[in-house]
Structure 1
Amino acid sequence: MLRIHMSGLDLSRVRMAARPDALWETVLSFHRLRDRRGAAVFGAWRTETRNRLDGDVRLLAALIPLRGYFPDFLTPSQGGGEPYGIDAGIEALRGTEPRRVDAELALLEAERREAGRTPDGSAEMLGRLGAALRGYHRAAIEPYWSHIRAGVEADRAIRGRALLDGGADQLLASLPPMIRWRPPVLEADYPVDRELHLDGRGLLLQPSYFCRVTPVVHRDPQLPPVLVYPVTRPRAPVFAEPGPWLGRLLGHTRSSVLRAIGNGCTTSELALRAGVSLASASQHAGVLREAGLIDTLRHGSSVLHTLTPLGGELLRGGAPLAAQ
């Protein structure tokens, strides 16, 4: 069990990450690559990624065990807690103080459950690690970045609604079922017992596409507090091909409905934005969902519609979101 102890000041400093963190997604996806669970969501991704890999991942395997602890320096935090893009993240990783690298590698060696030798903490090793992470990210993350980002943005829309409806208390209560808000403690299912005292630093909530089953926190309690948790109901990262539904999308009203969904809205808000009846908004949303252009998630007693990557690309004229 993980217990995060929060004061009133910490509660006022809870915040949501603005986008996916490239290094968290890279490291956690390496777990998913070797895990047979979740085939419905990750099965095709695993096959495509393995076929695309052309670099040596033995160094990654030595630092990222299938289960248990991996070094905190693999997922550095920026000042202010904003997520890193892959290039800036690797530069921050390579700039980790040698003493910290050595200490975390010693901890990995003491706790590892798999056979293998833990690498040394030299600058040369960090350089090779940066190259390995970049190559793996290019194969496993970049082709699916728009899907990863869309999943995170859909989750952020749900949390944002909860924050607007009931403040930080309702935001924390809205997190996935493996996380439970029991004021003043945020509890979560976790493989080991951990107590984390925020001491006025607040908490960054980082939704992650490749985080599964339990959330993740840094081992070192002195690092900026971040809770990485699974996005709500991730979609399989596949690219839809045009089909018979394309003709059904033609028309001013339905394209207006698609544009009206924007960063997320309920059916009632959609009807108001698009200037159509509630029944018509629901019908159009159903067709767009069938076409794979929107996703619909339950939010309390209502539903929340968000764009899928395909829907976003259609509105942008086919230009995908770039990985950051």
Structure 2
Amino acid sequence: MNAIAYQKFGNTTVLQSAEQSKPTIKSNQVLVKVKAFSINPMDWKIRKGEMKLMSGSSFPKKTGADFSGIIEDAGTSGFKKGDQVFGVVKNMMKDGASSEYIAVPASLVWKKPSQISFPQAASIPVVGTAALTALEKMGNIDADTEILINGATGGFGMFLLQLLRQKGPKVTAVTSTKGTEFAKKWGARKVIDYSKENVFSQNILYDIVIDLSGKMGYTAARKIMKPQSKFMNPTPRPIEIPTSIFKNLFTGKKHIIVLAGPSTKYSEKLVSEVNQGLQIEINKIFQFEQTQEAYQYAEKGGFIGKVVVEINS
């Protein structure tokens, strides 16, 4: 079977087509014929070697954590051959979905809602789980809670805005000009177009600042945070994970790391939200042989929703 893999850390040019053996499944696994996988920032952080303390330096590595596809071999699971599914690889630091077939734990695969496409389904697990994890770490929020989402209309923000709308806080979204209407549609009360306004000149202090762009940072965010508040960081540098714990002992402005790995904790909630109409915006779909181009496009940023690679289309 064909796969996209890399033999060393580096930029998108290390992503190369490779012929690999079709995997065989273990007792707790299913074999999935992959139809699509989506692109997440963690993919290129791992590929560039920024996470090597957690990913290790053994090769080859594949890319892409979440996927959709068709059950090829159900093993002893409750699935059957032909079921349309979506899911996430067991260890996104070492595994990847960028091949025609993948063997994954049956517990990390779920039935695809019939009303959404394979690219939409492949966009759910990582950002959906991250959004629900962030929501949980926010704690008690209500109509008086002031929340700022910086970089609000990528995949993570798309899910988070819609989930927050159900709880009714005062959400301000920072996005590009082309993202303003999406942010409003997904539930933001106020939208700041960063090309026209400066978020630091709004004279508003926030209870929660979540930086989805990775460009603001905790030090800058402190200027617009209330004395007792949270800065939520889903794209931490490795050094920030231990240091945030220590720093939080001495300040009311907490630096909260939001890391979401493969989990069954939120799977039913995510499927329920999709069935109730949660919107999944696909910005662009690339074909399997265009994987390098797909990552080049995604890594430039500035797009709305998700970028997806199709396989076996």
What's the TM-score once normalised by structure 2's chain length?
Answer: 0.28
Whose radius of gyration is greater, 1 or 2?
Answer: 1
Q: Tell me which protein shows more strand as a share of its residues.
A: 2
Q: Which has the higher contact order (CA 8 A, sep 6+)?
A: 1
